[in-house]
Structure 1
Amino acid sequence: MNALPKKVKIVEVGPRDGLQNEKETISADVKIELVNRLSSAGFANIEAASFVSPKWVPQMATSAEVMERITRRAGAIYSALTPNMKGLEGALAAKADEVVIFGSASEAFSQKNINCSIEESIARFVDVAKAAKDHGLRLRGSISCSFGCPYQGDVPLDAVADVVGRMRDLGCDEIDIADTIGVATPRKTQAVMERAASVFRLDGISGHFHDTYGQALANIYASLEVGVSIFHSSVAGLGGCPYAKGATGNVATEDVLYMMNGLGIETGIDLDIVVDAGQYISGILNRKGSSRAGNAIAAKRAG
């Protein structure tokens, strides 16, 4: 095992990946306030928008307004999901710093979700990737179901490596290895991350873990042990898992930061400001957030 990284990058995905699953419409003002609070906490990278058809994801219909009105912190990366060329044009107009393309490591998931093979799905991004690079944007690739699939179950390591290689060839600067349904456990996590690192540089690989079975923090620690130093998380644990009824989704940012602080790993992020942001958005949604650390710190403050 490697020594743990001294510094990690946390990519905050709550404003996009977290909120997009909410049933009630969330106003642009609330999204802007949330992004601004997260920016002030010191995040180097915030996934703030998604330029998808409002017909498919109504919650993201205000993405252009959000990107226009947020207060951008110097040096921070504001990312947008772009499923096609139209989405890329939206991201360019909104002055996104990074565009995110996505595929699956599971053939069954690809067929069920977007009615095409993995190979076909990645081919659709060739033009998007080229245009992003031509415009000097960072390009991130996200690979869902890298640890397991709701339809086919186990996903072979070679299948993950294959998609990592395809994303690499498109010119991705960073590649997310995502546990979409939250089924991974630590040893499996290490095997997948090591396999991904055999085809792409380790410092460009990120872990995107869902906490469906309560394993996300353990999997992040296991990833740290093999040298992964980029992780995704969502303030207040925003976002459910659509394949496991009532299950939590993204690992909560507050919990990840609490662990990193305890390990002496530098994040550059102020946990107290993130706790405030988590309590703010939980209040708006009229429910308690799923962050253990966030709720404990808030309760301790309330005395």
Structure 2
Amino acid sequence: MTDPSSAPVVDLVEVGPRDGLQNEARTLSVETRTALVERLVEGGVRRLEAVSFVRGDRVPQMADAEAVLAGLTPRDDVALIGLVLNRRGAERAAETICDELNIVLPVTDDFATRNQGVTVEQGLEHAAAAVEVARQAGKRASVTLAVAFGCPFQGQVPVAQVARVVERVADLGIDELAFADTIGVGVPSQVHALAELVRGDARVPGLRFHFHNTRNTGYANAWAATTLDLSGHGGRVSLDASVGGFGGCPFAPAATGNIATEDLLHLLRRSGVPVEGADVDALGSLVDTASWLSGELDSPVQALLGRAGDLLGGAAS
């Protein structure tokens, strides 16, 4: 068990309503997607990626983002994130109740051209424009570096290649930088190597990671993130997770689900790691939401907590 006095704080970011849905065969209605967000909030989630402002003809599961948000009641204690790829997406998000714009920027040309139709250099221009829109709208801005741990088309991605993109992004005036293991090939040593790129960099006040469990290393990577030197980031690290372990990228072959919110929270709770952005004592609600979502998607829950149960009343020894 981790000593709570020395443990970092993990800020949970629930990405189920976005990444959890975008690779599923069944497209949910606006009402069902709104209900998913509401269920997660009722279950204690306080920061979540609710929608994606992308083209509905390319990712139909993410169509009608404005309508999903319009069905929600704004809450001061809940931060809603909208994913964007460029200025146009940012302008759409800026007109909604989103509190934060998360700009996705791949670090390889191979993935960037297939995913967004641009090179990395062009993507950097789009990211700069989107950050500008967010700032003008008074909203937070974060950038997620996709395929930072490995690319399905290029293969290995050297840390030096990621570093060149980080250096450019850090000058955009962002609130948070995320490293994404888009296809689930990462290992803990990479978590440390990528974090080292921004350690002590005042231009990157917030650090975040996005892990998939494709090769069963997602939770090991999440644990590695809690062992980093986070003194330059306020002693905090943000971790993405998806209720039920749903998720994947439609432009990344064989990509499977994110690490599951309920499984991650069980790990952190039992280890004595402080968590914000979610209620670690309400895991039953998340398990119920995952089961409900499984029925709506006609897709099995990937998380394990619902099958094995949680020792909610037990000692975290």
Which residue of 239, 242, 259 maps to 1:234? 242
Q: Output one character per residue of 1:155-198: Cα deviation in whole Å (capped at 9) or x when no partner.
A: 11122222222222122101110001111111222122222435
Q: Which amino acid aligns with 1:122?
A: L
Q: Which residue of 2 aligns with 1:271?
A: 283
Whether 1:10 aligns to 2:12 is yes
Equivalent-residue separation in structure 1 for 2:266 and 2:80 (angstroms): 24
Q: Which residue of 1 aligns with 2:209?
A: 207
How has the CA–CA distance of structure 1 residues 4 and 121 changed in structure 2, closer, same or farther, with 3 Å as cutoff?
farther
1:287 Cα deviation (Å)? 3.1
SS in 1 for 2:179: strand
Q: Which amino acid aligns with 1:274?
A: L
Q: Output one character per residue of 1:79-105: Cα deviation in whole Å (capped at 9) or x when no partner.
A: 111222332222122221011111112
Runs of 4+ in 1 over 6 A off after TM superposition: none
For these two proteins, the number of residue pairs brought into alignment is 297
Query: Under a length normalisation based on structure 2, what TM-score does the superposition of the two structures give?
Result: 0.86
How has the CA–CA distance of structure 1 residues 196 and 157 changed in structure 2, closer, same or farther, with 3 Å as cutoff?
farther
Name structure 2 gaps, 5 residues minimum.
231-235, 313-317
Q: Which residue of 1 aligns with 2:76?
A: 74
1:199 Cα deviation (Å)? 4.4
Equivalent-residue separation in structure 2 for 1:128 and 1:188 (angstroms): 28
SS in 1 for 2:41: helix
1:129 Cα deviation (Å)? 1.2
Q: Output one character per residue of 1:23-42: Cα deviation in whole Å (capped at 9) or x when no partner.
A: 22201111111101111222
Aligned residue runs from structure 1 range 183-222, under 5 A: 183-197=185-199, 199=201, 204-222=206-224
Name structure 1 gaps, 5 residues minimum.
none
SS in 1 for 2:70: helix
How has the CA–CA distance of structure 1 residues 165 and 21 changed in structure 2, closer, same or farther, with 3 Å as cutoff?
same
How has the CA–CA distance of structure 1 residues 221 and 37 changed in structure 2, closer, same or farther, with 3 Å as cutoff?
same
Which residue of 288, 302, 307 maps to 1:290? 302
How has the CA–CA distance of structure 1 residues 93 and 123 changed in structure 2, closer, same or farther, with 3 Å as cutoff?
same
Report sequence identity in percent. 36
SS in 2 for 1:43: coil
Aligned residue runs from structure 1 range 139-154, under 5 A: 139-154=141-156
Q: Which residue of 2 aligns with 1:157?
A: 159
Q: Which amino acid aligns with 1:253?
A: T
Query: Under a length normalisation based on structure 1, what TM-score does the superposition of the two structures give?
Result: 0.90
Which residue of 217, 237, 255 maps to 2:263? 255
- Residues 14 and 47 of structure 2 are in contact (CA less than 8 Å); yes or no, is this contact kept in structure 1? yes
- Residues 87 and 126 of structure 2 are in contact (CA less than 8 Å); yes or no, is this contact kept in structure 1? no
Which moves more between the two structures, 161-170 or 175-184? 161-170
User: Greater share of helix residues, 1 or 2?
Assistant: 1
How has the CA–CA distance of structure 1 residues 122 and 252 changed in structure 2, closer, same or farther, with 3 Å as cutoff?
same
- Residues 103 and 127 of structure 2 are in contact (CA less than 8 Å); yes or no, is this contact kept in structure 1? yes
Q: Which residue of 1 aligns with 2:315?
A: none
Equivalent-residue separation in structure 2 for 1:22 and 1:181 (angstroms): 16
How has the CA–CA distance of structure 1 residues 203 and 123 changed in structure 2, closer, same or farther, with 3 Å as cutoff?
closer
Q: CA RMSD in A?
A: 2.2
- Bigger relative contact order (CA 8 A; separation at least 6): 2
Equivalent-residue separation in structure 2 for 1:97 and 1:163 (angstroms): 25
